[in-house]
Structure 1
C-alpha cells in the first residue's frame, strides 16, 4: 500500500511539473515594416498610387474611420461607449470591403509584469475583435496579437503616456 501511494504521489508531482514547463518566448516577433500610420510604396491594389489613397487600403481605412485605435482604462479591456463609436466606424468600413483582412494589436502601459501585460493586451485585442464580429464582420478576417508593453505609442512614465499606451490598434493588411 505504501509503494502504491508513493507511486501515485510521484506521478501526480511529475504531471504538475510538466504542466508548468511551458513558458512564453523571451523575444517577440519583429516589428512590421510598415506601422499603422505608414503606407508602403504601391505594388498592388492596396497602396497609394501617384499620391492618391487607394480604396480598401490601410491609408483609406485610417482616413475613413474615426480612429484605428481604441483606448482602455487601467487594467480594463471592456468596450466603453467611446470605443463602441470608433469600432462602429471600423465595422462599417470593413463591411464595405469584405475582402480585406485585419490584425488587431493589443497593447498595455509599462506597469505590470510582462506576462500580465501580454495577457491583458490579448484580452483587449479580442474584445475589439468580438465587438467587430458582433457588428457583422466575419471573424475569419480578423487576427489578434498582443505586444503587451513592448511597443508603446507614447514614451514616459506618467498618466498621460500610460493612457495612450492602453490600446487596441486595427491594421488593414495589404
Structure 2
C-alpha cells in the first residue's frame, strides 16, 4: 500500500503552524471570509493547509472523521463568536479581551481534537488538488482557494 504518515502531528506543532500562517495578512483575511461568509471552519482549513504542505490527502471517509472530531466544539465556537460580536459594543475592554481569550481556548480545544483525529488516520500522498482547494470547493468558496494555495511554501 502506498500510504505513509509524516512525523506525528502534535497539538503544539499545529498551533504554531496555524499562528504562523494566520499571521499572513492574506491568509487571515481569507480565513475570516471563509468563516463569516461561507460558514467555513478555520481550524479545519489550517489543518488542511498543513496537509497540503506535507503533500497529503484525505479520503471522503477521512473528511467525515475530521468533521465528526469537531462536531462538539464547532457549534459552541460559532455561538460564542456570534455572542461576542453582539456584546462587543457594550463590554469594557478588559471583559472583551477575556472573551477573546475564552474563544481562543475553544479554538485550541478544537485543534487538539483535530490533531487527535488526524493521528489516527492513514494518510495518502496527494495526487489531486490541494486539500484547501477541495474544502473551498465543498463550501462554495472557490475564489478563496487560490489564496491558500499561493501562500503555500
Could you state the TM-score of these two structures normalised by the residue count of structure 2? 0.29
**Of the two structures, which has the highest relative contact order with CA contacts closer than 8 Å and spacing of 6 or more?**
2
Could you state the TM-score of these two structures normalised by the residue count of structure 1? 0.26
| Structure with greater proportional strand content | 1
Please identify the structure whose Cα radius of gyration is greater: 1
| Structure with greater proportional helix content | 2
